[in-house]
Amino acid sequence: MKFIEEIRTRKKLLKKIIDKIRLELKDAPKEKLRISKKGNIVQYYIVSSEIIKDRVNGRYLKTSEFEIAKKIAQRDYDKKVLENAEKELKMLEKIDNNIFTDLSEVYSKQNEYRKALINPYVLPDKEYIEDWLREDYKGLDYKNDIEIYSVKGEKVRSKSEKIIADSLYYNKIPYKYEKPLIMDGMTVYPDFTVLNVKERKEIYWEHFGMMDNEEYSKNAVKKLQIYENSGYHMGEQVVYSFESRLAPLDSKYIENIINYYFK
C-alpha cells in the first residue's frame, strides 16, 4: 500500500539524516556558545568549565574566529534534529505491513452455508475481482481495417493498446477496455479502466499514441483538461502514457506504470 511505501521512504530519509549527523557530531566542538547583543552589535562568546574559571562571561570570539561560532551553532542544531529524527524513526519502526488486519479473512473463514446468509463488508480479493469483472457494459463501436486482438481476445485499436492490455493481463491486473465513464453529464470512454485491488479503486488509463500529430495532440490536451476539470487528477484517478513516431511505446515504460500504480 502507498501508505506503507511512504513510511518506508520516510524511514530511509531519517536514517540517512541520522547517520550524517552522528558523523558530523564526532568532530563537533565541545564548548557552548553565548550570544550577546548590545545596541546593533552582536557579540559571540564560547563557554566551557575551563574558560569560566578566568572569564565569567566566556571568551569573546573575534571576527576571524567566527567559524567557531558557526560550528557550535550547527552542533546545537544538529543535536535537536537528531533527537527528533530518532524519536520519529523509533515510532515508524513499530509500523510494518501487519498494521492492518485483513477483514476479508473473517468472511473467508465462514463455511459456505453461512456465507450464503452474509452480506460481507469486505470481500476476499478473488471474489471482489470476480464481482468487478462480472459487471456488463457496452464499449465504443468502431471500424478498423487492421484487426488487433489482446491476449484476452478483445479487439483493440492499436498495437500499443495491445501491449498495454497484454501487460496488464500478464501482471494479473484486472481491467476493462473502453468502459464508459460519465463526467459532468458527458460520457467518455477511457482506453482502460484498471482495478487497483489493494486500494479497491478504479484508475483510468488513457494512452495517447500520435503525439507528433498536431490535431491529435491538440485533442489529447483537451481530454486531459476535461479529466482535470471534472476532478479526475493525474496520478490519482487517471494515468496517462504517450508516444510518437520518434519515441515509440517502450514496454519498460508500461511496466513501470503498472508497478507503481497497480501493485
Q: Summarize the confidence of residues 123-142 as an average pLDDT.
A: 90
- Please provide residue 214's backbone torsions phi and psi, each rounded to the nearest 5 degrees: -60, -45
Instruction: Give whole-number Cα distances, 99 to 94, 112, 201, 261, in Å.
Output: 9, 29, 21, 21
Cα–Cα distances (Å) from 121 to 71, 107, 114, 115, in that order, read 58, 9, 15, 12
Burial of 17 (0-12, 13-18, 19+ CB in 10 A): middle
pLDDT band at 198 (very low <50, low <70, confident <90, very high): confident
Residue 96, pLDDT above cutoff 70:
no
Spans of all domains in the chain: 2-98, 135-262
| Non-local CB neighbours of 73 within 8 Å, separated by 6+ positions | 33
Mean pLDDT for 47-76 is 89
- pLDDT-wise least confident of 72-86, 110-124, 202-216: 110-124
pTM, entire model: 0.65
Q: What is the mean pLDDT of the chain?
A: 91
pLDDT of residue 50: 84
Q: What percent of the chain has pLDDT over 70?
A: 97
Sheet bearing 41-47, strands edge to edge: 32-38, 41-47, 59-60
Q: Of 3.40.1350, 2.60.40, 3.40.50, 1.20.950, which CATH number belongs to 135-262?
A: 3.40.1350
- Which range among 123-127, 128-132, 138-142 shows the weakest confidence by mean pLDDT? 138-142
Is residue 97 over pLDDT 60?
A: no
Give 68's pLDDT tier (boundaries 50, 70, 90).
very high
Cβ-contact 171, 194 below 8 angstroms: no
The C-alpha R_g of the chain, in whole angstroms, comes to: 30
Torsion sign (Cα): 225, 227, 229, 233: negative
Split at pLDDT 50, 70, 90, the class of 98 is: low
Nearest Cα to Cα of residue 209 among 157, 255, 173, 257: 157
pLDDT band for position 93 (50/70/90)? confident
Asked whether the predicted pLDDT for residue 154 surpasses 80, the reply is yes
Query: Over the stretch 1-56, which tens digit does the pLDDT of each residue have?
Result: 667 778 888 999 999 999 999 999 999 999 999 999 988 999 999 999 888 777 87
Q: Is the pLDDT of residue 101 over 80?
A: no
